[in-house]
Amino acid sequence: MPGANWRTELNKKTVPLFVNVYLGWLDYPEYFFFWCYDGSNSVFNTMNYLSKPMDARIASARAAAAQGDGAAYDSSVKGFVDLACQDMPRIPLFQPYSNVAMQKNVSGYQYWFHRRLDCRAFVKA
């Protein structure tokens, strides 16, 4: 498949196998599940997963987060994680590590929740 057509073909949801490392910018379960499992047909829902119970649990978690209702949030998150494990529309294979090594004269490393290296704070002595 030509690289220029990649995103168009991915949006069609017809690719027979797709190996993906999706790192959500915000490290919140409802954020990841909204973009990757919700039936609103996000480009990141690469498996074209459609489930009304999943959508309802994700919406419930997002509403609970907005209202600051920790108990309802935890219940909704556990619900959609359990459903994802039951339906298994995507197979989680691994969680990538982010190992960083620097010379002694370099400082300023900052951990970012999205696990991408950000060099803006680096300082060389």
What residue ranges do the domains of the chain occupy?
3-97
Residue 96 — very low, low, confident or very high, per pLDDT cuts 50/70/90? confident
Whether the predicted pLDDT of 81 surpasses 90:
yes
Which residues are CB-neighbours of 22 under 8 A, at least 6 positions away? Answer: 32, 35, 36, 44
Residue 69 — very low, low, confident or very high, per pLDDT cuts 50/70/90? very high
Whether the predicted pLDDT of 113 surpasses 70:
no
Q: Helix, strand, coil % (nearest 5) of the chain? A: 45, 5, 50
Q: What pLDDT score was predicted for residue 23? A: 67
CA distances from 77 to 1, 41, 70 (A): 37, 20, 10
Find out whether 77 and 30 touch, Cβ atoms under 8 Å: yes
Q: What is the pLDDT of residues 8-57, one digit of tens each?
A: 888 888 888 887 777 666 778 999 899 999 999 888 888 889 999 999 99
Whether the predicted pLDDT of 101 surpasses 80:
yes
For the four alpha carbons of 23, 29, 35 and 39, in that order, the dihedral sign comes to: positive
Q: For all residues of the chain together, what is the average pLDDT? A: 88
Give CA–CA dist 61/37, Å, rounded.
Answer: 13
